[in-house]
């Protein structure tokens, strides 16, 4: 009788169980021992099985029903399994049924080969169990030989190399390196002779070279004297007579003397351009522009034609902290112009970094930093009001902000304000001591550019310089009135009003910001400034210290760059869509060139022909004569190189050049026109001056051209010559 199936399992016959029980053995348990007990029936089945088994049945196969032991393939009589297969095995089961006379035990005998203890039933049974046991341990997947070789574990050096490689090819690494390379090329030949030449002229760059050297020297030797510099002796708070570039003080701690100061200036001049490029790039990327569009924003912001006229003003060129701080703050708050506020993107560390960079930018000078402070305060106010309205009033939506982010803003904002107050205190002291330093609306009118200035390039522009000679001739003070940001930038920004990745309302806001910036940059030229510049001048603290409103064109340039970035990004996205429709999906060379053309044009329009004059050589007497001393001739342009000469020992000097002339220095220049005479000598002695130096190669056309060789008998002073300098010791 064939075994019956119930749920896929075979059940033992009751009479077989009875026989096993009556003989004194335990009842068979199909779960614990599928082979069951050895009975005469099973021995007979083993004999038939061993004689009638097909050739090769002892070898395990991968086919079902072959009776293989220790395999995963389904089959009849598989050893060691709790679930016999529904289909009987081949050969063995049939022989057993015929030999056993229909009694059950077929499964028991067939499964003996896979049991832990071989059944006592003959040599064939033993052989079967041996072969089965061997196959269960030696079987391997034959396809394993064709598998790929395991990847070798990289060494530490290889892991470090891969990490460095990933950093080098990262977008921000490439952006910074590209900005540095472009800065070297676009400012060339600044680094051709970096210890002997200065960009633009030798006046204001000499002053600013001295400023950085003095701040580093004072912080290393006597920090309490920082604001009371060695120039303008015996004036106090003399370091606050101009924008200080105090943020560059760490660089001023390296090197001594005029050559080191000039080298420092040139290096920072190039780095300032690189920072402006990368900062504007970072801001555009954070707001949602593409890579090429962001590059256009960065290059147009750093190399706008109007900035070429400011090459001698490092505190104006050093504007990269403005877009960089805005980018960091936007990233920290999880906000972008394209995607709005995303709470999951908040990063508190970036908020602290943004406020720190903003404070550093403010420390470079109030000429650029003060408007930045007010703009930053306005952004914070608008953002807070907008968030409150969206959270509680207009379409209330729970938009989490978080106490950590709020703490970062409070701490960072207070730090920024604290730096501003600390830096402003010396300027208030100067305003009290020197009332003539205060600006008036009349002073602002002298530097207010007309509307034609926005279309006129400075003479330093390689592309437009010669073409705009006639237009510059109509401007009263063209160095501060040639405010062309670039015709290519104008065109791209105009296109960005109609075709852009920015939303329409954002485009309109950017355009409104451009108009407001340009109106304020006109100063009193826009209807007398009655409703624009004058209210700011009269009511905003510190605004009356700004002499040149045209420098507000910096904000218009940044906003125009963002409009252009939106247009270029949209164009690049359209090129990608066109490329995706091609077969194969690959852009044509013409499309690639087309996406880079705006960047190329903006770069070309920023090419310069800035002069790089040689710095006057420091006289040997400036390295040996102690102070306090006076160097003649003395004037604004003469004194600024003298300040640079003093960076070897920083002896006190009466000379000085700044944004205004102190009354005392003006008196010294007037009285010493007759030097050496008794009146001028007594006056200088009352001031504490011990030595007077007259530089021979500068006296042509001055009163000292004759008096430099006059005898000093009876004046109570001595006369000596060191090189080409005549030294009078009082």
CA angle 618, 622, 623 (to 5 degrees): 95
**What is the model's pLDDT at position 138?**
53
Give the C-alpha separation, 729 to 271, whole Å: 43
Distance set, CA 504 to CA 265, 498, 509 (Å): 43, 8, 9
Token pair 């501060």 in the structure block, residue? 480
Asked if 600 and 488 count as a contact pair (C-beta separation under 8 A), the reply is no
Asked if 27 and 20 count as a contact pair (C-beta separation under 8 A), the reply is yes
**Which pLDDT tens digit goes with each residue over 378-394?**
999 988 888 778 777 76
Strands 691-695 and 629-632 come out as parallel
Low-confidence ranges of the chain (pLDDT < 70): 1-138, 394-399, 585-587
**What is the model's pLDDT at position 69?**
38
Query: How many residues belong to the chain?
Result: 730
Nearest CA among 199, 369, 171 for reference residue 270: 199
User: Alpha helices, DSSP H only, in 614-716?
Assistant: 621-624, 636-645, 663-671, 678-687, 704-707
**What is the model's pLDDT at position 169?**
87
Give the C-alpha separation, 601 to 488, whole Å: 7
Asked if 652 and 222 count as a contact pair (C-beta separation under 8 A), the reply is no
* Three-state secondary structure call for residue 548: coil
Read off φ and ψ for residue 677, nearest 5 degrees.
-140, 170
User: Alpha helices, DSSP H only, in 389-486?
Assistant: 403-433, 441-446, 469-473
* Three-state secondary structure call for residue 608: strand
Crossing angle between the packed helical segments 204-221 and 258-287, to the nearest 10 degrees: 100
**What is the model's pLDDT at position 629?**
96
Give the C-alpha separation, 35 to 113, whole Å: 8
Give the distance, in angstroms, between the CA of residue 407 and the centroid of all CA atoms in the same chain: 23
- Long-range own/partner contacts, residues 49-56 (CB < 8 A, 24 or more apart): 49/92, 49/95, 49/96, 49/109, 49/110, 49/124, 49/125, 49/128, 50/122, 50/123, 50/124, 50/125, 50/127, 50/128, 51/124, 52/91, 52/95, 53/91, 53/92, 53/95, 53/124, 54/90, 54/91
* Three-state secondary structure call for residue 692: strand
* Three-state secondary structure call for residue 10: strand
Give the C-alpha separation, 122 to 506, whole Å: 94
Q: What are the counts of helices (DSSP H) followed by strands (DSSP E) for the chain?
A: 28, 8
**What is the model's pLDDT at position 396?**
65
Give the C-alpha separation, 37 to 509, whole Å: 93
> What single-letter DSSP state applies at residue 390?
I
Q: To the nearest whole percent, how much of the chain has pLDDT over 90?
A: 66
Nearest CA among 446, 529, 516 for reference residue 481: 446
């Amino acid at each position: 009788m064939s075994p019956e199936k119930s749920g896929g399992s075979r059940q033992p016959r009751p009479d077989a169980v009875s026989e096993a029980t009556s003989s004194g053995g335990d009842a068979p348990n199909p779960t614990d021992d599928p082979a069951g007990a050895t009975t005469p029936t099973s021995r007979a089945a083993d004999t038939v099985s061993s004689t009638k088994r097909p050739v090769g049945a002892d070898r395990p196969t991968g086919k079902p029903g072959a009776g293989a032991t220790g395999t995963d393939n389904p089959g009849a009589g598989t050893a060691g399994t709790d679930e016999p297969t529904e289909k009987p095995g081949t050969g063995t089961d049939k022989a057993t049924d015929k030999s056993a006379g229909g009694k059950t035990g077929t499964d028991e005998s067939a499964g003996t080969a896979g049991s832990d203890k071989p059944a006592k039933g003959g040599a064939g049974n033993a052989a079967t169990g041996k072969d089965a046991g061997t196959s269960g341990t030696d079987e391997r997947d034959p396809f394993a030989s064709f598998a790929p070789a395991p990847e070798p574990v990289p060494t530490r050096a290889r892991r470090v190399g891969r990490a460095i490689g990933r950093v080098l090819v990262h977008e921000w690494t490439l952006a910074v390196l590209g900005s540095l390379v472009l800065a070297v090329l676009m400012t060339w030949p600044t680094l051709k002779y970096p210890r002997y030449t200065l960009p633009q002229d030798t006046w204001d760059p000499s002053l600013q070279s001295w400023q950085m050297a003095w701040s580093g020297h004072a912080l290393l030797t006597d920090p309490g004297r920082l604001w009371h510099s060695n120039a303008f002796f015996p004036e106090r708070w003399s370091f606050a007579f101009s924008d200080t570039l105090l943020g560059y003080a760490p660089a001023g701690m390296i090197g001594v003397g005029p050559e080191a100061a000039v080298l420092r200036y040139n290096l920072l001049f190039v780095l300032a351009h690189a920072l402006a490029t990368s900062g504007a790039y970072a801001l555009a990327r954070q707001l949602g522009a593409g890579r090429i569009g962001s590059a256009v924003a960065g290059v147009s912001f750093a190399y706008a034609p109007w900035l070429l006229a400011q090459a001698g003003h490092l505190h104006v060129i050093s504007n990269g902290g403005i877009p960089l701080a805005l980018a960091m703050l936007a990233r920290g708050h999880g906000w972008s112009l394209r995607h709005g506020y995303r709470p999951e993107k908040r990063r508190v560390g970036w908020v602290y970094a943004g406020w720190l960079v903003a404070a550093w930018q403010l420390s470079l000078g109030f000429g650029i930093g003060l408007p930045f402070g007010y703009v930053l305060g306005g952004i914070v106010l608008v953002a807070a009001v907008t968030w409150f309205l969206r959270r509680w009033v207009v379409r209330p939506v729970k938009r989490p902000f978080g106490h950590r982010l709020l703490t970062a803003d409070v701490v960072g904002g207070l730090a920024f304000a604290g730096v501003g107050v600390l830096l402003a205190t010396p300027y208030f002291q100067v305003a009290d001591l020197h009332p003539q330093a205060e600006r008036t609306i009349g002073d602002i009118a002298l530097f207010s550019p007309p509307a034609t200035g926005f279309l006129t390039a400075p003479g330093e522009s390689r592309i437009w310089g010669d073409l705009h000679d006639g237009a510059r001739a109509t401007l009263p003070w063209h160095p501060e009135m040639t405010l062309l940001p670039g015709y290519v930038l104008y065109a791209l920004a105009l296109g960005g009003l109609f075709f852009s990745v920015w939303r329409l309302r954002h485009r309109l806001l950017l355009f409104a910001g451009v108009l407001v910036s340009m109106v304020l940059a006109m100063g009193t030229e826009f209807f007398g400034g009655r409703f624009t510049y004058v209210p700011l001048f009269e009511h905003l603290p510190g605004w009356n210290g700004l002499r040149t409103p045209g420098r507000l064109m910096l904000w218009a340039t940044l906003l125009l760059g963002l409009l252009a970035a939106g247009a270029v990004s949209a164009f690049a996205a359209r090129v990608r869509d066109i490329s995706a429709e091609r077969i194969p999906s690959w852009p044509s060379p013409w499309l690639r060139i087309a996406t880079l053309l705006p960047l190329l044009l903006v770069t070309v329009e920023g090419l310069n022909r800035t002069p790089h004059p040689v710095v006057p050589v420091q006289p040997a007497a400036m390295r040996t004569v102690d102070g306090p001393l006076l160097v003649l001739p003395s004037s604004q342009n003469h004194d600024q190189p003298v300040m640079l000469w003093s960076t070897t020992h920083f002896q006190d000097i009466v000379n000085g050049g700044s944004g205004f002339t102190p009354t005392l220095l003006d008196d010294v220049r007037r009285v010493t026109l007759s030097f050496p005479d008794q009146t001028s000598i007594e006056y200088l002695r009352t001031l504490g001056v011990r030595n007077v130096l007259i530089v021979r190669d500068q006296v042509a056309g001055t009163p000292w051209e004759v008096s430099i060789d006059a005898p000093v008998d009876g004046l109570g002073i001595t006369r000596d010559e060191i090189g080409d300098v005549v030294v009078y010791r009082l």
